[in-house]
Structure 1
């Protein structure tokens, strides 16, 4: 997949595609339906499949203090889209010039003059142009006038829940990882840099990697204990390991700052300074206070056993890149 973030010299193969339009935070099952619709048009027309997304998220420009935490980093969005067969990813810079552009100007200057698109697909509630004044009905009209096909894609429901980035954020914050992952169509994933912590886990016999988030604000799910897959970016490549994760304030030790800590189930490694991805596979339990350390250690042993069982039963991961998986 080719990624385009600069447009002064856009290559010819980035033009003439069938494009899925949207922000695609999470690349959830509703987004996948839009990309699939664009893919069908691409095959019919014999042109590349592309995605036009906005970077940063429009709300991060319009109201940064109220912007939602991201479900996916840009890098993970890229990996997920690549697995869906996207050939061209257009990351359009969302700035004050773009947000002041009239819908007609967006269609003419971006979709036609810059990208020469053959077809476009978007969710039925997609809006574009100044103050979100353009809708799918207007895009269809502009497409007929300017020579590209337009398909409006209805939302996708799963067990009576309409897939949306907003709903998935709420589910994750409520601790409902199973429903969130089902609507995402992949396991929720975050990550960061491994930094030094209190070494408390090592003292208890369960050493943990403390993860410090990097980049733009990304979401963390509800506090608790999770079965995870941990992707370590070693100098010679990415390796994935089975693990168990503690997310919370460590009430047994009177902690007050929220930490993401991962115990790799088999093996001990020097991970400081390395990047680690954390894929949340199953929620095992909520965060608890333990009156004595022995009770905590016994529960940690049960957590590890439960994590192994959950990971063994879990399907293969999506969006994990090309790294090898080393099971626990």
Structure 2
């Protein structure tokens, strides 16, 4: 079957209160678990993890949980955390995440899992050995009766124990513990760390293949230097400091762009780098949105990375740079028009 053509045409292409508002808008079955709280939950078949990116491997595991729940007459659940464990355990750790919490929860909502349970990760939770965690949190607090473990996943204090230990504890606690098969499409490992490495190298096509959708970041638009406007390619500058996600390697990218309060995606090209032709020093993210002249300053923008077009480089003149930008735009439009960008790359929405 040939790849689906993109629908993007050339013309249209916190706090607890904030969380509640987001969840209400998305109509998600999400329960934010407070310490010591025991929500009324049915018997659950569940899996646990941070699920950064909710990539193909995660969705394979979640599919297994849903199947196990149906076979056992239980409800299915994903148990995740509100922050990366290393943010709590390492004071100087700066996370380079694939998804914000809100984005992750929406991606989880697009699976068939019945419930998403969000635990507050702190030092007291991190200190629990696996058996106490299974007893006090999984069994007593969340009513987990079947636990599906990812092929290479570990939990508990210092991740010191493994699958055989979980099985033994589960037998004593009344929790059936099952290990999922490894998910290795084409013999390739799918993990958040592998995907992060691809994005850091600018290998967006490979990262998107492992994610199962186009890698998307979100940030607020701030005022820039106006260089793009003088060249005939006005750009929206994204606030790098406010971006809470991993920023791809320097270069020029084909992207699809959407304002947070809009459903319309537009084509564009993104430059990440230091603007060497203008003797720039600091890193910046600038996106030229094709055939768009609206005022979007101080507004959140979602940018989905489709493909890397070329590396950033210094040009001998502004005319040479403008000529290259014309060629870049033509190449990006060709990608969209030729149907080389699959519809599934844009299916994960913000």
TM-score (norm 1): 0.90
8 A contact 2:37–2:141 mirrored in 1: no
SS at match of 2:228: helix
Contact 2:170 2:176 in 1 (8 A): yes
Match of 2:347 among 318, 323, 328: 318
The corresponding residue for 2:166 is: 139
| Residue 277 (1) aligns with residue 306 (2) | no
CA drift at 1:250: 0.7
Q: Which residue of 2 aligns with 1:30?
A: 57
1:39–1:240 distance in 2 versus 1, CA, 3 Å: same
How many angstroms does 1:147 deviate by?
2.2
Q: Paired residue for 1:186, among 213, 218, 221? A: 213
Question: Does 2:133 match 1:106?
Answer: yes
1:10 and 1:233, CA in 2 relative to 1: closer, same or farther beyond 3 A?
farther
Provide the C-alpha distance between the structure 1 equivalents of 2:244 and 2:323, rounded to a whole number of angstroms: 35
Output the aligned Cα RMSD: 1.9
What is the aligned partner in structure 2 of residue 222 from structure 1? Answer: 249
Aligned residue number for residue 176 of structure 1: 203
Deviation of 1:223 after TM superposition, in Å, equals 0.6
2-side partners of 1:209 and 1:10: how far apart? 46
Q: Which runs of 5+ in 1 are unaligned?
A: 322-328
Q: Which residue of 1 aligns with 2:293?
A: 268
2:76 is aligned to: 49
Greater alpha carbon shift after TM alignment, 41-50 vs 272-281: 41-50
The farther-off stretch of 144-153 and 202-211 is: 144-153
Deviation at 1:177, TM superposition (A): 1.2
Task: Tell me by how many angstroms 1:45 deviates.
Answer: 2.5
The one of 262, 267, 289 aligned to 1:242? 267
Match of 1:297 in 2: 322
Cα displacement string for residues 59-91 of structure 1 (whole angstroms, at most 9, x for unaligned residues)? 111124245411111122112111122332112
SS state at 1:18 partner: strand
How far residue 111 of structure 1 moved from its aligned partner, in angstroms, is 0.6
| TM-superposed deviation, 1:52 | 0.6
User: Is the alpha carbon distance of 1:159 and 1:296 closer, same or farther for their aligned partners in structure 2, counting shifts above 3 Å?
Assistant: farther
Q: 1:227 to 1:134 in 2, by over 3 A?
A: same
1:121 matched to 2:121? The reply is: no
1:215-242 per-residue CA deviation (whole Å, 9 max, x = no partner) reads 67421111111111112023xx443222
Q: Greater RCO between the two (CA within 8 Å, min separation 6)?
A: 2
Tell me the residue number matched to 1:325: none
TM-score w.r.t. length of structure 2: 0.85
